[in-house]
């Protein structure tokens, strides 16, 4: 069996957005030549600013977005070439936890029906077996089975996110993608949900992509980190190594934005300007318009990826000739 559960190869995803004023159509270059693997059993964090393409990449892995080109292999099979029955099994194996637990649960459905729906669609379990799976999962996410006859509005944000996590787990998936799973919650609840995800990961042994812009969440949970900027992975490696010795100027800026008690303001790397629009990508290195180390070559040529230590890749001219 291959070590990698997921292999993304040279993936491009584009879509057309229509500006209301004058119905101008623009192509959004959301994912631009991503190569990324996820090993079985690991937590890979995908980090970057809002609008950098993290969620579009996740949606492509879930087959909710069409690709322009490239491949996504799951268990060595191209997910865009699956038969109808293979696609059904794939959707069972890959589940998503969404950012906002207020909008991800159907307000008109009792919790028991929300949790039973995936089992009704994807399994041949008897009603008793389904109930046993549901009650077992509800307990594992730290809730009481009394919740099953209630509606979403009767719960707090943290409880709703636990229910959403339970819904993702009832099918015992091999792979989970969590898109900013704590950013809509109160700070006091965030730590509980992060700890819960860590415990569940051990109990259910799933492989996990965690999408977040919060570097402190990544430091606590992730085995590896991929840093994304304007639809490209600019640095990827073991979380411990990236936190100890970030290489790409963008990674350094992201990490320096995490507040530290001992920090002097001179330690901060401040980026100028906003993230450029993915409808109008800069030439050369896509980070050159904001990079404090930009050289002439960066404005016209795009750096290729280089492995600077085992398993630690970076896309930057500062490291190409070392």
Note the residues at the interface with ligand SF4 (CB under 6 A). 248-249, 285, 287-288, 291, 293-295, 298, 303, 316-318
CB of residue 15 to ligand SF4, shortest distance in Å = 26
Q: Which is nearer to ligand SF4, 147 or 298 (CB)?
A: 298
CB of 87 to ligand SF4, least distance (A): 39
Nearest CB to ligand SF4, comparing residues 171 and 253: 253
Helix (H) or strand (E) holding 288: none
HSE, side-chain direction, 13 A CA sphere, residue 308: 24
Please state the closest distance from residue 62 (CB atom) to ligand SF4, in A: 30
Burial 149-183 (b: 16+ CB within 10 A, else e): eebbeebebbbbbbbbbbbbbbbebbbbbbbbbbe
CB-nearer residue toward ligand SF4: 35 or 172: 35
* 256, two tokens: 């320096």
DSSP 141-210: TT--GGGGGS-GGGS-HHHHHHHHHHHHHTT--SEEEEESTTTTS-HHHHHHHHHHHHHHHHHH--EEEE
**C-beta closer to ligand SF4: residue 86 or 274:** 274
For the bound state, the minimum distance from the C-beta of residue 258 to ligand SF4, rounded and expressed in Å, comes to 20
| Smallest distance, ligand SF4 to C-beta of residue 174, A | 35
State how far the Cα of 119 lies from the Cα of 96, in Å rounded to an integer: 15
Question: What is the full DSSP assignment across 93-138?
Answer: HEEEE-S-TTTSS-TTS-HHHHHHHHHHHH----HHHHHHHHHHHH
Minimum gap (Å) between residue 292 Cβ and ligand SF4: 8
Of 162, 72, 183, 163, the C-alpha closest to 114 is 163
Both tokens of 255, joined, read 């990490």
- Among residues 161 and 289, whose Cβ is nearest to ligand SF4? 289
Distance CA 192, CA 172 (A): 22
- Looking at the Cβ atoms of 238 and 318, the one nearer to ligand SF4 is 318
User: Which one, 142 or 276, has the nearer CB to ligand SF4?
Assistant: 276
CB of 280 to ligand SF4, least distance (A): 17
Going 141 to 142 to 148 to 154, the CA torsion angle's sign is negative
Inter-residue contact 150 to 162 (CB < 8 Å): no
* Residue 267 to residues 80, 98, 258, 262, Cα–Cα distance (Å): 45, 34, 11, 10
Question: What minimum distance in Å lies between the beta carbon of 260 and ligand SF4?
Answer: 24
Q: Of 116 and 247, which has the nearer Cβ to ligand SF4?
A: 247
Name the residue nearer to ligand SF4 (CB basis): 157 or 276.
Answer: 276
In the complex, least distance from residue 242 CB atom to ligand SF4, rounded to whole angstroms: 15
């Amino acid at each position: 069996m291959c070590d990698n559960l997921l292999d993304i190869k040279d993936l491009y995803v584009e879509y057309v957005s229509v500006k209301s004023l004058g119905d101008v159509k623009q192509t959004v270059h959301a994912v631009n030549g991503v190569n990324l693997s996820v090993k079985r059993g690991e937590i890979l964090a995908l980090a970057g600013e809002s609008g950098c393409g993290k969620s579009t990449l996740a949606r492509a892995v879930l087959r909710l977005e069409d690709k322009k080109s490239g491949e996504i292999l799951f268990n060595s099979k191209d997910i865009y070439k699956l038969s109808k029955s293979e696609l059904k099994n794939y959707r069972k194996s890959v589940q998503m936890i969404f950012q906002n637990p207020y909008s991800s649960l159907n307000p008109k459905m009792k919790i028991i029906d929300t949790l039973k729906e995936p089992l009704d669609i994807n399994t041949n379990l008897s009603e008793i077996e389904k109930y046993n799976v549901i009650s077992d999962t509800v307990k594992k996410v730290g809730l009481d089975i009394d919740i099953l006859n209630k509606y979403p509005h009767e719960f707090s944000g943290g409880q709703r996110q636990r229910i959403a996590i339970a819904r993702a787990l009832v099918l015992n998936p091999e792979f989970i993608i969590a898109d900013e799973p704590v950013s809509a919650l109160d700070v006091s609840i965030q730590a509980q949900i992060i700890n819960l995800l860590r415990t569940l990961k051990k109990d259910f042994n799933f492989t996990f992509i965690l999408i977040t812009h919060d570097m402190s969440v990544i430091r606590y949970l992730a085995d590896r980190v991929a840093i994304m900027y304007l639809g490209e992975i600019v640095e990827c490696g073991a979380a411990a190594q990236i936190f100890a010795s970030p290489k790409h100027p963008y990674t350094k800026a992201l990490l320096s934005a995490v507040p530290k008690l001992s920090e002097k303001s001179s330690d901060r790397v401040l980026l100028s300007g906003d993230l450029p629009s993915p409808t109008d990508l800069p030439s050369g290195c896509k980070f050159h318009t904001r990079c404090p180390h930009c050289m002439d070559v960066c404005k016209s040529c795009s750096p290729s990826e280089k492995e600077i230590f085992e398993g630690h890749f970076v896309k930057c001219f500062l490291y190409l000739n070392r």
